[in-house]
Structure 1
Amino acid sequence: MSLNPMPVQPTLHTPLMARLKWLMVLRVVLAILFIGISSWFQFKQTSPIQPSFYPAYGIVIITCLLTILYARLFKWVADARLFAYLQIFGDILLITATVYVTGGIESLLSFLYFLSIISASILLNRTGGFYAASASSIAYGLLVNLDFYKVLPTGYKTIMAGNVEYERGDILATVMLNIIGFFTVAFLTGYLAERTVKIEKELEEKKIDFKKLEEMNKYIVENINSGILTIDEDSRITSFNKAAEKITGYSLEEVYNQSIDAVFTDLMNEHGYSMNPLDEGPSYFRIDKVFKKKDGKELFLGFSVSPMKEGGHVIIFQDLTRLRDIEEQLKRGDRLKALGELAAGMAHEVRNPLASISGSAQVLKQSLSLSDEAQHLMDIITRETNRLNALITEFLLFAKPAVKMAKINLSDILNDTIGMFRNSPESKNIEIQVKLDDSLVINGDGGQLKQVFWNLFLNASHAMLDGGQLKIGGHCSHIKQPFDSNGAKVVVIDISDTGAGIPQDKIDKIFDPFFTTRDSGTGLGLAVVHRIIENHKGTIEIRSRQGEGTSFKIRLPMMKSED
Structure 2
Amino acid sequence: MSIWRKELAKRIRWILIIRIILFISILVAVIMLQLTRGFVFHLLLFYSVFVLAYLLTLFFWKYIEKEVSFRFLCSTLLAFEIALELAIIHYTGGIISPFYILLAITVVSSALIYHLVGTLVVATFSTLAYSGMILGEYKHILNFTTPSPIVESVYSDSDTVFFGAYVFVCFLYLASFISGYLSGQLKIKINELELKTDELERLKVDLKTIFDRMTSGLITVDLRGRIIHFNPSATHLLGLPGLSYGGKQIKDILPPRFHHIIRRVEDLLIGITRKEIKEEVEFVIDGEKRNFFFIFSALEFGGEKYGAIILFEDITEEKRTEEYLRSVEKLAALGELSTGLAHEIRNPLVSIRGSAEMLKQEVNLEGTSGELLGLIVEESDRLSRILENFLQFARAGRSPNSTSGSFIINSVLESVIEQIKQHPAFPSKAKIKLELNPSDELWVKGNKDMAKQIFWNLILNAVEAIDPENGIITITRDKDGFNFKGEKPLVGISVTDNGYGIEEEKLKEIFKPFYSTKKGGTGMGLSIAQRLACEMGGYITVESKRGVGSKFTVYLVRA
Q: Shorter-chain-normalised TM-score: which range?
A: 0.7 to 0.9
Per-residue CA deviations over 1:69-100 (Å, capped at 9, x if unaligned) read: 44555653345655543442233113322443
Alignment-derived partner of residue 76 in structure 1: 60
Change beyond 3 A, Cα 1:256–1:284: closer
| Cα RMSD after superposing both structures | 4.8
Matched, 1:522 2:522: yes
Using the alignment, how far apart are the partners of 1:538 and 1:50 within structure 2?
103
Percent sequence identity is 22
Contact 2:104 2:172 in 1 (8 A): yes
Structure 1 letter corresponding to 2:185: R
Alignment-derived partner of residue 285 in structure 1: 277
Q: Once the 2 structures are TM-superposed, how far is the Cα of residue 462 of structure 1 from its aligned partner?
A: 1.0
Matched, 1:60 2:44: yes
Change beyond 3 A, Cα 1:62–1:415: closer
Contact 1:358 1:382 in 2 (8 A): yes
Matched, 1:125 2:101: no
Using the alignment, how far apart are the partners of 1:418 and 1:96 within structure 2?
109
Change beyond 3 A, Cα 1:522–1:207: same
1:424 partner SS: coil
After TM superposition, the structure 1 stretch with the greater mean CA deviation from structure 2, 409-418 or 444-453, is: 409-418
Matched, 1:456 2:458: yes
Change beyond 3 A, Cα 1:358–1:449: farther
Alignment-derived partner of residue 226 in structure 1: 217
Contact 2:349 2:380 in 1 (8 A): no
Q: Once the 2 structures are TM-superposed, how far is the Cα of residue 533 of structure 1 from its aligned partner?
A: 0.7
| Aligned with 1:20 (options 15, 19, 28) | 15
Contact 2:435 2:477 in 1 (8 A): yes
Using the alignment, how far apart are the partners of 2:345 and 2:353 within structure 1?
12
Matched, 1:469 2:472: yes
| Aligned with 1:389 (options 387, 410, 418) | 387
Using the alignment, how far apart are the partners of 2:558 and 2:418 within structure 1?
24
Q: Once the 2 structures are TM-superposed, how far is the Cα of residue 281 of structure 1 from its aligned partner?
A: 6.4
Structure 2 letter corresponding to 1:396: A
What are the within-5 Å matches in structure 2 for residues 376-455 of structure 1? Answer: 376=374, 379-380=377-378, 382-384=380-382, 386-401=384-399, 403-404=401-402, 405-429=404-428, 430-436=430-436, 437=438, 439-455=441-457
Structure 2 letter corresponding to 1:324: K
Contact 1:102 1:157 in 2 (8 A): no
Q: Once the 2 structures are TM-superposed, how far is the Cα of residue 250 of structure 1 from its aligned partner?
A: 6.8
Using the alignment, how far apart are the partners of 1:355 and 1:419 within structure 2?
34
Alignment-derived partner of residue 191 in structure 1: 181
Contact 1:27 1:63 in 2 (8 A): no
Change beyond 3 A, Cα 1:161–1:460: same
Alignment-derived partner of residue 267 in structure 2: none
Change beyond 3 A, Cα 1:129–1:340: same
Change beyond 3 A, Cα 1:555–1:152: same
Alignment-derived partner of residue 43 in structure 1: none
Contact 1:129 1:186 in 2 (8 A): yes
Using the alignment, how far apart are the partners of 2:496 and 2:539 within structure 1?
16
Per-residue CA deviations over 1:499-546 (Å, capped at 9, x if unaligned) read: 222222222222122211112111111011111111111132222233
Q: Once the 2 structures are TM-superposed, how far is the Cα of residue 548 of structure 1 from its aligned partner?
A: 3.0
Q: Once the 2 structures are TM-superposed, how far is the Cα of residue 393 of structure 1 from its aligned partner?
A: 2.0
What are the within-5 Å matches in structure 2 for residues 166-245 of structure 1? Answer: 186=176, 189-210=179-200, 225-226=216-217, 228=219, 230=221, 241=230
Alignment-derived partner of residue 275 in structure 1: none
Q: Once the 2 structures are TM-superposed, how far is the Cα of residue 489 of structure 1 from its aligned partner?
A: 5.0
After TM superposition, the structure 1 stretch with the greater mean CA deviation from structure 2, 512-521 or 412-421, is: 412-421
Alignment-derived partner of residue 136 in structure 1: 126
Q: Once the 2 structures are TM-superposed, how far is the Cα of residue 126 of structure 1 from its aligned partner?
A: 3.6
Change beyond 3 A, Cα 1:35–1:180: farther
Matched, 1:324 2:319: yes
After TM superposition, the structure 1 stretch with the greater mean CA deviation from structure 2, 409-418 or 445-454, is: 409-418
Q: Find runs of 4+ consecutive structure 1 residues off by over 6 angstroms.
A: 32-37, 48-51, 105-111, 173-184, 218-223, 236-240, 250-255, 258-261, 266-270, 359-362
2:462 partner SS: helix
Change beyond 3 A, Cα 1:452–1:350: same
Q: Once the 2 structures are TM-superposed, how far is the Cα of residue 336 of structure 1 from its aligned partner?
A: 1.7
Alignment-derived partner of residue 44 in structure 1: none
Contact 2:15 2:112 in 1 (8 A): no
Change beyond 3 A, Cα 1:556–1:298: closer
Using the alignment, how far apart are the partners of 1:395 and 1:519 within structure 2?
21
Using the alignment, how far apart are the partners of 1:182 and 1:26 within structure 2?
20
2:143 partner SS: coil
2:514 partner SS: coil
Matched, 1:160 2:134: no
Q: Once the 2 structures are TM-superposed, how far is the Cα of residue 356 of structure 1 from its aligned partner?
A: 5.7
Change beyond 3 A, Cα 1:239–1:517: farther
Change beyond 3 A, Cα 1:57–1:515: same
Q: Once the 2 structures are TM-superposed, how far is the Cα of residue 248 of structure 1 from its aligned partner?
A: 5.2
Using the alignment, how far apart are the partners of 1:154 and 1:258 within structure 2?
80
Alignment-derived partner of residue 543 in structure 1: 543
Alignment-derived partner of residue 333 in structure 1: 328
